[in-house]
């Protein structure tokens, strides 16, 4: 009788654990699909922006630079590395007052720098406007000095333009994006001329691919990458 009771209890416990596991899996799946839908809707709205074909500049033969700050550069680097036409992506710091800042100094928010990625790309393969599309979809440009749990001015949303035409494209794109209603809140992305770029320390280079089992990579970067790959399947390598 006692053995039968324990068997009954074990069966109940197993069923309870299975129910909890299924529930958690369902919640995670729902969260993933919901965010994916938001990504898709935002991209759909962005694709309807009235951008002229001349804005794409697809006939150049030289590489160009683009620099973006969209929160933690570990995440931003991993996404832009996957785009066709992108030759290199380096994480680093820009927009501060200290020379040769360290990661620790930047994380203190006292140096004034933003965590950024500097991209070298082939404009005959991918246009600057397309880089802007990705930039605005992979982070929240409406939160000031914050991306999720990462808080501080080093995580601010910022675009550093390298050429006059980039400034024109950014101004036009953000204006159209604001009017499109893609975001409920006001876009607070900082737009400023590129300053001196300081490459981040070696341990930050290609961080995600070298540290996939790290908790931050598994919890934050991997899900965002998966969503990005689904929405931008036509643009990835």
What ranges in the chain are assigned the alpha helix state H? 2-47, 73-80, 103-107, 128-137, 164-180, 207-210, 215-216, 222-231
d(CA 125, CA 205): 24
d(CA 190, CA 145): 10
200, burial (CB in 10 Å: exposed 0-12, middle 13-18, buried 19+): buried
H/E segment holding residue 91? strand 86-94
List CB contacts of 188: < 8 A, sequence separation 6 or more. Answer: 141, 142, 143, 144, 157
d(CA 227, CA 196): 32
List CB contacts of 134: < 8 A, sequence separation 6 or more. Answer: 79, 80, 83, 228, 232, 235
Identified catalytic residue from 37, 72, 75, 217: 72
Three-class SS state of 209? helix
Residue 157's CB is within 10 A of a number of other CB atoms, namely 25
Q: Is position 217 annotated as part of the catalytic site? A: no
- Which residues belong to the active site? 72
């Amino acid at each position: 009788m006692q053995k039968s009771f324990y068997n009954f209890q074990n069966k109940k416990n197993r069923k309870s654990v299975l129910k909890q596991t299924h529930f958690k899996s369902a919640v995670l799946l729902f969260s993933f699909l919901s965010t994916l839908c938001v990504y898709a809707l935002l991209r759909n709205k962005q694709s309807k922006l009235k951008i002229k074909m001349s804005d794409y500049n697809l006939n150049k033969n030289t590489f160009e630079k683009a620099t973006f700050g969209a929160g933690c550069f570990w995440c931003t680097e991993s996404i832009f590395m996957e785009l066709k036409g992108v030759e290199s992506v380096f994480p680093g710091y820009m927009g501060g007052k200290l020379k040769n800042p360290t990661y620790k100094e930047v994380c203190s928010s006292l140096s004034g720098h933003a965590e950024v990625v500097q991209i070298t790309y082939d404009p005959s393969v991918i246009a600057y406007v397309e880089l802007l599309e990705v930039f605005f979809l992979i982070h929240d440009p409406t939160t000031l000095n914050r991306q999720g749990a990462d808080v501080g001015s080093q995580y601010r949303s910022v675009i550093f333009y390298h050429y006059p035409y980039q400034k024109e494209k950014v101004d036009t794109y953000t204006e159209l994006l604001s009017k499109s209603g893609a975001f409920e809140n006001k876009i607070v992305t900082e737009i400023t001329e590129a300053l001196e770029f300081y490459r981040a320390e070696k341990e930050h280079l290609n961080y995600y691919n070298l540290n996939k089992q790290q908790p931050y990579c598994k919890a934050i970067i991997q899900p965002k990458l998966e969503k990005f790959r689904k929405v931008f399947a036509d643009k990835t390598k």
